[in-house]
Amino acid sequence: MEKAELIWMNGAFVAWDEANVHVLSHGLHYGSGVFEGIRCYDTESRGPAIFRHLEHLDRLNKSAELYYLDLPFSVEELRQATKELIRRNGFRSCYIRPLAFRGAGEMGLYAPSAPVEVILAVWPWGAYLGDEGKREGIRAKVASVRRISSDSLIPHAKASGQYLNSILAKTETANASYDEAILLDQRGMVCEGSGENIFLVRDGQIVTPGHNSSILDGITRKSVIQIARDLGYSVVERDVARAELYLAEEVFLTGTAAELVPVREIDHQELGPPGEITRVIQAKFEDALHGRAEEYLEWLDPVGEPSGDAPPPPARENVDAEEIGEPASGKVGS
């Protein structure tokens, strides 16, 4: 992992190596945290710009609400702090990881008085499933563990503890030398990848599992559905049987970290190289990410140019001098 100079932590810019938490943080013990994965691209028309920034921060806010975490910063404060962090670190493109979690102060499952802490981290991170994967397609395997369901958790929330499910699936398939896991929902219908939504092409129609399949409501998924429809393709959200994965003309995955990745093999069934519909949509999506598609420029939140003279990371004692933005509640972790 490539380090950046600064991390934003509870309203202050601190040195990467100084951004530490207490070992009794509630989130560390019970997974009581919510997070986002966002990307900033060096765009041709807008300079460094964050793709669908507000949608990601709104989802963070919603995930926090669903798990009773009172965010001590507003969406707008987090948005501005993220841009400032990217500028100060001197990045033109990077991955962005906002995380809110219950900190130390009270133990036990019901711990409303433990403070909610918020961090924003940015670092350079290439395509999650590799550039070759984006070009040639990846090999996926259906995992034996099922995706979490709304019977017991909240699939629509991007919550830290929920990712133990994704880790199990990913580890199982990595150990079997596949690139990515595909999870079925509790009914045995196709749900999504361990960190991506899934699309199939069948008889020229684009198909993707809907919300009754316990999917994460992916922001890339939404963008790709819009792009595909704007290009004139028919897109339907419906239940997808496992066998349809093997019968599909094309399959691809979408997610912020992975972007749009063709799938060329599933469970030892060969689908072949990336198909034409995947290629056309992937190209348009790449244009949207990099500010080359006029019609999707509104999806980009410009960061401004890197300051170039980023101040040296402050020592931990100095962080007060670096504070920006008061917590919305006036107190971190009310």
Ligand X SMILES: Cc1ncc(COP(=O)(O)O)c(C=O)c1O
Annotated catalytic residues are 158
Which tokens is 255 given?
């997610």
Residue 200, SS3 per DSSP: strand
Q: Which of residues 202-231 bind ligand X (CB under 6 A)?
A: 216, 218-221
The answer to whether the CB of 31 falls within 8 A of the CB of 331 is no
Residue with tokens 């709104």: 58
What CA–CA distance (Å, rounded) separates 332 from 334?
A: 6
What CA–CA distance (Å, rounded) separates 83 from 26?
A: 28
Which of 102, 158 has the CB closer to ligand X?
158
Residue 14, SS3 per DSSP: strand
Give the amino acid at 135. R
Q: Which of residues 165-184 bind ligand X (CB under 6 A)?
A: 166
What CA–CA distance (Å, rounded) separates 310 from 314?
A: 11
Which of 103, 195 has the CB closer to ligand X?
195
Which of 32, 166 has the CB closer to ligand X?
166
**Residue 7 beta carbon to ligand X: minimum distance, rounded to whole angstroms:** 20
Does the protein bind ligand X through residue 195 (CB under 6 A)? yes
Does the protein bind ligand X through residue 256 (CB under 6 A)? yes
**Residue 79 beta carbon to ligand X: minimum distance, rounded to whole angstroms:** 17
Does the protein bind ligand X through residue 98 (CB under 6 A)? no
The answer to whether the CB of 174 falls within 8 A of the CB of 194 is no
Q: Which of residues 265-304 bind ligand X (CB under 6 A)?
A: none
Instruction: Give the strand pairing for 116-123 and 47-51.
Output: unpaired
Residue 72, SS3 per DSSP: coil
Which of 10, 256 has the CB closer to ligand X?
256
DSSP letter, residue 110: -
Q: Which stretch binds ligand X (CB under 6 A): 130-138, 195-203, 205-213, 244-252?
A: 195-203
**Residue 231 beta carbon to ligand X: minimum distance, rounded to whole angstroms:** 19
Which of 106, 217 has the CB closer to ligand X?
217
Does the protein bind ligand X through residue 255 (CB under 6 A)? yes
Q: Which stretch binds ligand X (CB under 6 A): 85-93, 115-123, 235-243, 252-260?
A: 252-260
Which tokens is 231 given?
């290009």
Using alpha carbons, list the distances in angstroms from residue 330 to 155, 189, 233: 31, 46, 49
**Residue 159 beta carbon to ligand X: minimum distance, rounded to whole angstroms:** 10
**Residue 17 beta carbon to ligand X: minimum distance, rounded to whole angstroms:** 27
Q: Which stretch binds ligand X (CB under 6 A): 189-197, 240-248, 276-284, 302-310?
A: 189-197
Give the amino acid at 32. S
**Which residues contact ligand X by CB under 6 A?**
37, 166, 192, 195-197, 216, 218-221, 254-256
